[in-house]
Amino acid sequence: MQRTSMGTIVSASAALVGAAALAVAGCSPSGPAAAPPPALPTLDAAVASQGTQASSTPVDPADVEELWAPVAAAATAGGYTAWGTVVDAQTGQVLLDAEASTPHTPASTTKTLTAFTALAHLDPTTTLTTSALLGADSQTLYLDSEGDLLLGIGASETTEVSGRAGLQTLANDTAAILAQRGVTSVTLDWRGTLFEGASHLSSWDAQEVGAYEGEVGPMAIDAGRTYEGANDFYSDSPARVAQVFAQALGAAGISATLGEAGEPPAGAATLATVSSATMGEQLRWMLAHSDNTLADQYCRFAARAAGAPATYEGATSTVASTLSAAGVPTEGLFLEDCSGLSSNDRISANTLVGVLKASYSGQGTSADTMRLLPWAGLVGTLSKRMTEEPAVGNVQAKTGALAEVSSLSGSVITRGGRVLLVSIGHDRVTAGALATRGRLDAFEEGLAGLN
């Protein structure tokens, strides 16, 4: 029952695995090599089939408690909190309850709530359009976008997901049409805003984590980073996109003078467009690379689709209402953002595992949440963790990391073929949570080894 062969997993994740090996936990995408965007595979039979589950070996809660004992002991000795829960996916039996109902700082495991909410309100097959519009005067060009934060230009930019939505393609197509019309020079304006309210939380800066998220808004290259893999972002991502687009137009023979952010010019007509990767593919990217900016971007998309204000407050309230509607427990839930970047966020293990349960047993697109999570030893922020059997390819989880927090939320396939839903973490590790992460990994590895 256990996945000892990597064939199915690798074929389902091949496009993303190649791009993910150098991912940095918390925010950083990786690798410049272009690749087709990954498809959204269904779960393989070991996870998706309840019938197969019926022939697997149930897990004894005493075995889980024994595996948890050293995690709890280390937390007591270190003066920090170890929390978590383990649930049998088939029966719903709780195999571990370690402060599971108490809200804790979740870090980026928050993104599982974000993905679940986005998939509940958005069509994962939808793409985002970026367009070049020409004013009636034939002198003003306007760069418009519906919110693509993974725009790329050339092989030096992140193109694994944005692919066919590259600015270079848009620039070349636009320049060709302008040349046909005899236009050789334009003033380039652009869309500067997309949502209501602030695009950055002041509490992040107070917590000294503000450098780990870019600007939510109409468009960005590589989610707004100043260079590939950076934890440093342009203060005005749309303006940066316009600057790069103007340079690309120049290389294609059209002189473009930068104007300003604003509304489309009067009588504007669309010259050329490019489409992003699908929303489902971008959500996979967000989870695999723990991209904070995309997380808050898609939370605002979901809020807008749900009829709520497209603000941080509207987005987080949409998460809470979506979970409640799905029957996920939300006692003690408090969110300032949808990325988990704020240390003021609070989520209980019961809420985290409740999202996994709703995804595992649910219908519709929200059920894709678990399918999008990274695989241990293979994908994204888990690509260099739990790289040996029995965990590699049998643990699928969203990671979380802040200075005093380490967390994991996802599923484990045991050696006996049982699917366990697991949400665990360390909180208030004043000496630094990174050093304690291995204990959480060891617990997951122990679960994977249970017969």
Closest CA to 340 of 123, 136, 112, 46: 112
**How many angstroms separate the CA atoms of 326 and 323, rounded?**
5
Which residues have a Cβ under 8 Å from the Cβ of 411 and sit 6 or more positions away? 47, 89, 356, 360, 370, 373, 395, 396, 397, 419, 420, 421, 422
Two structure tokens written together for 43: 């779960």
Coil vs helix vs strand at 210: helix
Contact 429, 404 (CB under 8 A): yes
Burial status of residue 60 (CB atoms within 10 A of its CB: 0-12, 13-18, 19 or more): exposed
Q: 17-62 pLDDT, tens per residue?
A: 333 322 333 333 333 232 333 343 333 323 333 334 557 999 999 9
pTM to 2 decimal places: 0.87
Q: Give backbone dihedrals phi and psi of 410, rounded to 5 degrees, phi first.
A: 175, -145
Q: 343-371 pLDDT, tens per residue?
A: 999 999 999 999 999 999 886 777 889 99
Strands 148-151 and 219-221: parallel
Contact 357, 89 (CB under 8 A): yes
What are the extents of the domains in the chain?
7-123+287-448, 129-277
Closest CA to 332 of 146, 131, 83, 53: 83
**How many angstroms separate the CA atoms of 436 and 429, rounded?**
8
The one-letter code for the residue type at 291 is D
Q: Give backbone dihedrals phi and psi of 379, rounded to 5 degrees, phi first.
A: -130, 135
Burial status of residue 67 (CB atoms within 10 A of its CB: 0-12, 13-18, 19 or more): buried
Closest CA to 10 of 379, 337, 411: 379
Q: Give the chain's residues under pLDDT 70.
A: 1-54, 153-165, 363
Please give the CATH superfamily to which domain 7-123+287-448 belongs.
Answer: DD-peptidase/beta-lactamase superfamily (3.40.710.10)
Distances 323 to 79, 115, 199, 316, 331 between C-alpha atoms, Å: 32, 11, 24, 11, 11
The CATH number corresponding to 129-277 among 3.30.1690, 3.40.50, 3.10.590, 3.30.420 equals: 3.30.420
Q: Give backbone dihedrals phi and psi of 397, rounded to 5 degrees, phi first.
A: -160, 155
Question: How many C-beta neighbours within 10 Å does residue 243 have?
Answer: 17
**How many angstroms separate the CA atoms of 122 and 294, rounded?**
14
- Nearest 5°: CA angle at 388, between 383 and 389? 125
Q: What is the dihedral of CA 384, 390, 393, 398, to 10 degrees?
A: -60
Contact 104, 151 (CB under 8 A): no
Closest CA to 279 of 161, 131, 160, 112: 161
